[in-house]
A and B are shown apart, each in its own frame.
Chain A
Amino acid sequence: MTPDSLRAALRGVPDPDWLDAALRRVTAEPTAITRLFPTAGRRCGRAALPDAPGWTADDAARVLLLTSLPGDHAAYAERLYQHGDAAERRAVLRSLPLLPIGAAGVPLLHDAIRTNDTRLVAAALGPYAQHLAPAAWRQAVLKCVFSGVPLAAVADLDTRADGELAAMLAALAAERHAAGRELPADATDLLDRLTAALPREA
């Protein structure tokens, strides 16, 4: 997803003029984002965007506010996240792969993954999670399975899942089976794929 495609998908929001003006203002006067960012949900709505699958209007509008900043993206992202409600935090997490900040946003991922808010955990495992170290990434994927977040939320799942993740999933499956419970179907499928693909140890 690019800023241009989000912009196009937002054409039908309730108050498109507000969004146009807000984006121009943030480019000219970056500090204005502080108050525009929390307001975006009330002005653009929170409906799913038909032309941007997986995106809601408030998430997309907030991401565009961040990408419209002329500079200091990492500092603004951190501050808006720390001062944000859950929806604002989710939008910051989703903006990270679209901002020119390298790996500077990783501490925000760690914060989100520490929460028990499944919306934040899921948002932290998007494309920007490529910057997460393998151990943290595996723990986060396992947390998704544990807390019922669909694995479809995890970017690069099949390319990144490794033998260590398979072992962790198998151990969780064993615990669940011992308790007469099942893993979610998507986790069982992943474990099956990994088990089939990995070379058997002698």
Chain B
Amino acid sequence: MRIFDPHIHMTSRTTDDYERMAAAGVRAVVEPAFWLGQPRTSAASFTDYFDSLIGWEPFRAGQFGVRHFATIALNPKEANDPRCRPVLDLLPRYLDKDAVVAVGEIGYDSMTPEEDEAFAAQLALAVAYDLPALVHTPHRDKARGCERTLAVVAESGIDAGRVVVDHLNEVTVKLVRDSGCWLGFSIYPDTKMTPQRMVELLREYGTDRMLVNSAADWGRSDPLLTRATGEAMLLAGFSDDDVDKVLWRNPVEFYGQSGRLDLSDLDVTAAVDPQTGNSILRGGS
């Protein structure tokens, strides 16, 4: 099983996690810029964080054979703090970097006017830098937040196929599916989404435009739940090819739209024989 985790905060994880992820088949990750638990109080604090996402963290990942990419943005929660707003002016220089494959996480936390402004400004940056966008949906008032999110996305002029709306669940899945955006699901030990519930959603809505991530961070989370979801899919009767599509080819297709997803020299072999279309290998373990 080859796995591309399209949303995981490796900055908060240990080298033990990298080892276990590599052993489980994780070969590539995208780390979105987000909040760190402790609120930041200046733009300089963000630049050190962003520099780490395009410097030290890819180096750390590389020691375990994992390719590390990032998305860069001012997150919605800290967009509300005037001391952090100058970060918006620093983003352009990061959006030119090789390993930055989207603008994100943007979107809503508490749906304030400040968040409106930062969200719209950063969708415009995604268009200007020809990058996809990773959109976080709020944990409180999620359904209405999701509606409002899709309205702002539509208004921005960005192609829906270049946007993933993340942290979806049974209540928000259909709305986003009908919008033409990609659908992100964060599999958590017992909150946002579980492997079993994910399997049900894949049964009902199919595998197109579906992205499964662990969103593992500094809270209770598990970087191996991508793999667990793949195994749950197989047990439920999905084919190896279905699993490969959801856990590898979909994220490659979505982030590949950046033109910057360099997966060369990575230890993965095509999971499907181009001659027969049959699954021939599931790299890693």
Residue B259 at the chain A interface, CB threshold 8 Å? yes
Stretch at the interface among B25-33, B95-103, B159-167, B225-233: B95-103
For B54, give its contact among A35, A86, A116 (CB under 8 Å).
A86
Cβ–Cβ contact A85 & B55, under 8 A: yes
For A83, give its contact among B93, B99, B260, B262 (CB under 8 Å).
B93
Residue A42 at the chain B interface, CB threshold 8 Å? yes
Chain A residue numbers with a CB within 8 Å of B93 are: 34, 83
Tell me whether A86 and B97 are in contact in the complex, defined as CB-CB below 8 angstroms, given that A42-B259, A42-B260 are known contacts: no
Tell me whether A115 and B260 are in contact in the complex, defined as CB-CB below 8 angstroms, given that A39-B96, A42-B98, A87-B98 are known contacts: no
A-B contact count (CB 8 A): 33
Interface of A is mostly: helix
Interface digits, B46-65 against A, CB 8 Å rule (1 contact, 0 not)? 00000100111011000000
Cβ–Cβ contact A85 & B260, under 8 A: no
Interface size in chain B (residues, C-beta < 8 A): 14
For A86, give its contact among B58, B259, B260 (CB under 8 Å).
B58
Cβ–Cβ contact A35 & B96, under 8 A: yes
Chain A residue numbers with a CB within 8 Å of B58 are: 86
For A89, give its contact among B55, B96, B99, B260 (CB under 8 Å).
B55
Chain A residue numbers with a CB within 8 Å of B98 are: 38, 41-42, 85, 87
Interface of B is mostly: loop
Closest Cβ of chain A to B250, distance in Å, is: 23
Chain B residue numbers with a CB within 8 Å of A38 are: 96-98
In the docked arrangement, what's the CA distance between A83 and B97, Å? Answer: 10
Most buried by B among A35, A87, A89, A119: A87
Ranked nearest first, the 8 interchain pairs of A and B with the lowest CB-CB distance are: A85-B54, A38-B96, A86-B55, A117-B59, A85-B97, A41-B98, A83-B93, A38-B97
List 8 A-B pairs, Cβ < 8 Å.
Answer: A34-B93, A42-B259, A46-B262, A85-B55, A85-B97, A86-B54, A87-B98, A89-B55
